[in-house]
Amino acid sequence: MAKKVIVIGSGAAGMTAASTAKSADPTCEVTVFTQDEDIAYSPCAIPWGIEGKSKWTDIVMHTPEYYEKERGIKVYTKTTVESVDDASKTVTADGKAYTYDSLIIATGGKVFIPPIEGTDLKNVFVVRTIRGGKDIQEASKDAKHIVIGGAGVIGLELAVSFRNMGKDVTVIEMMDQVIPRIADKDMADIMQKHLEDMGVRFIMKAPIQAVKGDGEVSAVCAAGQEYPCDVMIFATGVRANLDIPKALGFDVGQLGAAIVAPTLQPYKRGRLVPDIYLAGDLVQCESAIMSGATMSQLGSTAVKQGTIAGFNAVSAKKRLFGPVASPWVSQIGDLQISGTGLSKGLASWYGVDVVEGKAEGLTRARYHPGGKKLIVKVLADKTSHRIIGGQIIAGEEATGRIDWLTAAAINGMTAEDFLVRSENAYCPPTSMVKDVVISAVEDLCRNLE
């Protein structure tokens, strides 16, 4: 009999899981339930959608009709799952019961909005769905003053998009640096300067106190000041959406997300739950750098988990989800910033003493036209000399380099080992003869002595 797979959630994790299950076992019946009206898109694309650089119709990879016709996957949009019964293996959605053999829960996260007045005013938004993106675009048309709450990468990408649209942009951030937590202050300050040069105003060390307005937003209060505002966007991070896992009594970890085994199965009081798999922003991960829990709410992580959850939902042989270093990258104006593993801030959270190495150079040979600035920082654990993270700012080609550093870190290379055994490909149009990554590790080794 055909295996019945139900997926709850239609983001990167959910739709990847659905497609993977169907291709791993073409005989299975896959049904997706989602509250969203659009499916199969990357929320990371929304800043470029608002600006019009990418079209909404392109960002949404496929329609529900496409999934049904081309892949044989039934998708119920705008549909709420009311309850899950893991004893009878039943999902109830919009009042109807559906049975499953395997269930994948990929309900993602919810944008954290501070508990202050006025967040329900008109023209106050979060960045999460295509619908939300379109609403922001519409509301911004005649807006003059845009206020963004939170200077994480999505907040900064949005700031650039709005500057490109000619808006007055204010970013309000609680911490003393942009991209807090995952970037070090010296690297973050370069990005902040870059944005200030583009005309973005920053209000730092300023928790948002209130959103003001009569029916619709007119100002935002932070650190005792009031800033005029026609459109306010909260880009204040995502919390795991645990409604269903909690209702089912699944174990939740110390970081406020669901604990899973490497097969992505959840636990109930420490015991593995059969036939259920979790994927995406609601999952707590293991760190590849330190023994311990970490969050990895990235699109790339969601897709990886979705692939594994979908495969495991229909296969006797299981695939495993490994620990994460969570490499990330963001394009902010003309600069890319990327990072991997622990930042200095995260390292101090784990109690690790850090030594850093840094180097500056170019993305091409000095004499080759078109080379862009390249700044690389690599961090090592002071006691073991193990590479535990790094960050890169570059005009181009930051992504491959951070994936390279990630591979070194997850394989436990020390700084000295990296220098002995690492090599970089070279030709004048694509790198310096000694890549700046290697120069940064040379600096790191000197500083470790």
Angstrom distance (rounded) from CA 94 to CA 73: 19
**Which of 28, 31, 25 lies closest to 3, judged by CA?**
28
- Active-site residue numbers? 44
Nearer to a second copy, 248 or 445 (CB): 445
**Contacts of a second copy in 242-271 (CB under 8 A):** 262
Q: Letter for the amino acid at 399?
A: T
Nearer to a second copy, 119 or 424 (CB): 424
Nearer to a second copy, 44 or 121 (CB): 44
- Please report which residue ranges of 52-116 form alpha helices under DSSP H: 56-59, 64-66
Nearer to a second copy, 135 or 396 (CB): 396
Angstrom distance (rounded) from CA 15 to CA 48: 22
Sign of CA dihedral 155, 107, 182, 225: positive
**Contacts of a second copy in 189-218 (CB under 8 A):** none
Span from 38-46, 114-122, 177-185, 344-352 in contact with a second copy (CB under 8 A):
38-46
Beta bridge mates, 355? 380
Cα 411 to its chain centre, rounded Å, is 23
Q: Is 63 in the site for a second copy (CB under 8 A)?
A: no
How big is the chain, counted in residues? 449
Beta bridge mates, 377? 358, 391
Minimum CB distance to a second copy, residue 258 (Å): 20
Minimum CB distance to a second copy, residue 364 (Å): 10
Q: Is 161 in the site for a second copy (CB under 8 A)?
A: no
327, 361, 389, 390: which one contacts a second copy (CB under 8 A)? 327
Minimum CB distance to a second copy, residue 310 (Å): 13
Nearer to a second copy, 31 or 340 (CB): 340
Minimum CB distance to a second copy, residue 61 (Å): 7
**Which of 207, 66, 50 lies closest to 129, judged by CA?**
50
Q: Is 238 in the site for a second copy (CB under 8 A)?
A: no
Span from 76-84, 140-148, 169-177, 396-404 in contact with a second copy (CB under 8 A):
396-404
Residues 6+ apart with CB under 8 A from 198: 160, 163, 333
107, 140, 326, 343: which one contacts a second copy (CB under 8 A)? 326
406, 414, 436, 444: which one contacts a second copy (CB under 8 A)? 406
Angstrom distance (rounded) from CA 355 to CA 344: 9
Minimum CB distance to a second copy, residue 318 (Å): 11
**Contacts of a second copy in 78-97 (CB under 8 A):** none
Measured from the Cβ of residue 369, the count of other Cβ atoms closer than 10 Å reads 8
Q: Is 106 in the site for a second copy (CB under 8 A)?
A: no
Angstrom distance (rounded) from CA 375 to CA 313: 43
Q: Is 288 in the site for a second copy (CB under 8 A)?
A: yes
Span from 73-81, 120-128, 269-277, 391-399 in contact with a second copy (CB under 8 A):
391-399
Q: Is 5 in the site for a second copy (CB under 8 A)?
A: no
Q: Is 13 in the site for a second copy (CB under 8 A)?
A: no
Cα separations in angstroms, 46 against 24, 145, 223: 31, 19, 29
**Contacts of a second copy in 409-448 (CB under 8 A):** 410-411, 413, 419-431, 433-435, 437-438
Residues 6+ apart with CB under 8 A from 46: 59, 127, 128, 130, 132, 133, 154
Angstrom distance (rounded) from CA 152 to CA 167: 19
Angstrom distance (rounded) from CA 294 to CA 323: 9
10, 287, 338, 343: which one contacts a second copy (CB under 8 A)? 338
Q: Supply 26's token pair.
A: 């073409």
Q: Is 186 in the site for a second copy (CB under 8 A)?
A: no
Q: Supply 257's token pair.
A: 């997300």
7, 15, 21, 45: which one contacts a second copy (CB under 8 A)? 45
Beta bridge mates, 239? 110
322, 348, 353, 384: which one contacts a second copy (CB under 8 A)? 322
Angstrom distance (rounded) from CA 78 to CA 145: 32
297, 336, 343, 414: which one contacts a second copy (CB under 8 A)? 336
Nearer to a second copy, 55 or 96 (CB): 55
Minimum CB distance to a second copy, residue 209 (Å): 31
**What string of H, E and C letters represents the secondary structure of 102-138?**
EEEECCCEEECCCCCECCCCECEEECCCHHHHHHHHH
Minimum CB distance to a second copy, residue 32 (Å): 18
